[in-house]
Structure 1
Amino acid sequence: MSHFLGVVIESLVAILLMLTIGYCMLLNKRLKRLKADESSLKATIAELITATEIAERAIGGLKHTVRDVNENLGSQLTAATEMSAQLKLQLSECDGVVRRLSKITLAARPSTSAVAPEPAPVSTPAAAPAPVSNAKAVAAAAQAFSERRRSNGLAA
């Protein structure tokens, strides 16, 4: 029996050794795959680092461009504000000039009761409308200009 027990133990140790050898072979295959994956992972990391550096340079360029645009836009905005103020001033002065012109043309206009109406010209088939005096034309233009200015808020 002791001999039989020795054979069983030896057989059990042999089976365990076979299982250990099989398991070691399986681990060897997995380690080889992991080693291959490591090299591809290193290549991927290197590409990622390169892409990150390119992106950082692009962001730096964009920041520089934004700074330049901000400076240019700020100066243009300041110039536009100044020009707007000048235009407001000029429009108010133009409004005063138009009022004075209207007063001048109204004062220069002859009163309708003092002047006898002109006889109507004989109409011909291709007759042009009766000529309007320069003072009346200027007064009408000034009045129309002033009305457009008041209704639209703009002179033209």
Structure 2
Amino acid sequence: MNHSVGMIIETLVAILLVATIGYCMLLNMRLKRLKADEQSLKATIAELITATEIAERAIGGLKVTVRDCNENLGGRLTAAADITTALDKRLVAGEELLRRLSRIVAAGQVVKDIERSSSAASLAEAATAFADRKRTAVAA
């Protein structure tokens, strides 16, 4: 019986050793997968770091470009405002010149009408109208 009890214990120990070896093999496979996942995770992290550095450089370049555009556009806007002011002044001067020319043309029409009409009364009337227009021109 000693011999059979020893044999049972030896068999039980052998079965437990086989189960332990099987479990160790299973753990080994899982560890290999974990290591492989760790390597791919490290590669992904390295790619993310590289992409982040590239993006930071691109953002820096964009900031410089925006600053240059802002300075350039500011100068152009100032120049455009100056040109607009000058054009406004010239437009006002042109309108005044047009009014003067219109008055001169109207006075010339009166003179032509006077020349056509030989009566003294119409001549006096035209001279009065001309003098009135002249006074309004001087007052304006």
Normalising by structure 2, we get a TM-score of: 0.69
- Match of 2:66? 59
Consecutive unaligned residues of structure 1, counting only runs of 5 or more, are 112-156
Shift, 1:10, TM fit:
2.8
Alignment RMSD (CA, Å)? 1.9
Deviation readout 1:74-129 (Å, 9 max, x if unpaired): 11111111111111111111111110011111212367xxxxxxxxxxxxxxxxxx
Distance 1:72 1:105 in 2: 48
Say which is worse superposed, 4-13 or 30-39, in terms of deviation: 4-13
The count of aligned residue pairs is: 111
Deviation readout 1:116-149 (Å, 9 max, x if unpaired): xxxxxxxxxxxxxxxxxxxxxxxxxxxxxxxxxx
Consecutive unaligned residues of structure 2, counting only runs of 5 or more, are 1-7, 119-140
- Match of 1:104? 111
Shift, 1:60, TM fit:
0.4
Instruction: Describe how 1:1-156 pairs up with structure 2 within 5 A.
Output: 1-109=8-116
- Match of 1:134? none
Identical columns (%): 14
Per the alignment, in what secondary structure is the counterpart of residue 71 of structure 1? helix
User: Greater helix share, 1 or 2?
Assistant: 2
Shift, 1:41, TM fit:
2.5
The higher relative CO (CA closer than 8 Å, separation ≥ 6) is in 1
Q: Residue type of the partner of 1:35? A: K
Normalising by structure 1, we get a TM-score of: 0.63
